[in-house]
Structure 1
């Protein structure tokens, strides 16, 4: 990698991550009545999808990846929930799991979507258990799977599939 490409990627990656962080919140703010309408809860996780792309396209070695995971997990905690640790642990669990499982998957779209699904499930389970511990989540595990996991996974897998090849192309230009 040429030096200018390395610097360019180190600037573009966190800027897009910051943009997606705010878009996550903006989507929930703008469409919250639709996305959180009972009985289903749909949570867009564009930030997690961007972390997934870095793992899938092997860009984690070019940026301080886990530093960004922790920082944006803390930003989610402070900015969106006010409870420190929930999203930090959820982002870490999801990204570590995806990173460890990545060698068993290839770069095809369906393999990538399966890897993202595993990371998304880890993310949602961690937030569910954290919510259960502090009595915010009062759903049964079956209701959690039907009302939260399935709609959230469907939305995020569709979003990730739509952005898969454009992001791959962007990474190829920047790395």
Structure 2
């Protein structure tokens, strides 16, 4: 593999990761009225989707994937919440679980969607639990699962599924 090919992936992956960090906020700001229409609360998590693609298409061999995961979690905490650690732990735990599930499941679309689904639910549960401990999550678990987790899982699984093959092709081109 030529040096310029390794460099392309090393540059493109983290740049898109940081860009998607801001896309999450832009989507929520621009479409907040739709995403938070009572009683639903949908969270776009394109950053986690990009980390999922990194796990699914094995970018860890080409770049410091875990460092990027921790850094994007810290940036997410600093930029969006101001509470250090919640999203850092959520990103690392969800990504680690997706990495472990990747060992069992293969690279087919349905297996990938299952891996992402489980990682997303873990991510949402960690952020809910942290909010509950801090005192900012004041809804029951059933309400949280029905009105936040379910619509968030539907939206983000569709986004991850639609982008699956184009991102796979992009990674093949960058390698």
TM-score class, shorter-chain normalisation, is over 0.9
Shift in Å at residue 37 of structure 1?
Answer: 1.9
> When the two structures are superposed, what TM-score results if normalisation uses the length of structure 1?
0.98
Show the counterpart of 1:158. Answer: 158
* Residue deviations 1:73-120 (CA, integer Å, cap 9, x gap): 011111011111110000011001001111111111111000000100
Give 1:129-168 correspondences, 5 Å limit: 129-168=129-168
> When the two structures are superposed, what TM-score results if normalisation uses the length of structure 2?
0.98
* Residue deviations 1:131-169 (CA, integer Å, cap 9, x gap): 000111111111111011100000000000110000000
Give 1:1-175 correspondences, 5 Å limit: 1-175=1-175
Note the residue ranges of structure 2 that are not aligned, 5 or more in a row.
Answer: none
What CA RMSD, in Å, does the superposition of the two structures yield over aligned residues?
A: 0.8
Query: Which structure 1 residue ranges, 4+ long, deviate > 4 Å from structure 2?
Result: none
Note the residue ranges of structure 1 that are not aligned, 5 or more in a row.
Answer: none
* Cα distance between partner residues in 2 of 1:164 and 1:130: 30
Shift in Å at residue 59 of structure 1?
Answer: 1.2
Shift in Å at residue 60 of structure 1?
Answer: 1.5
> How many residue pairs get matched?
175
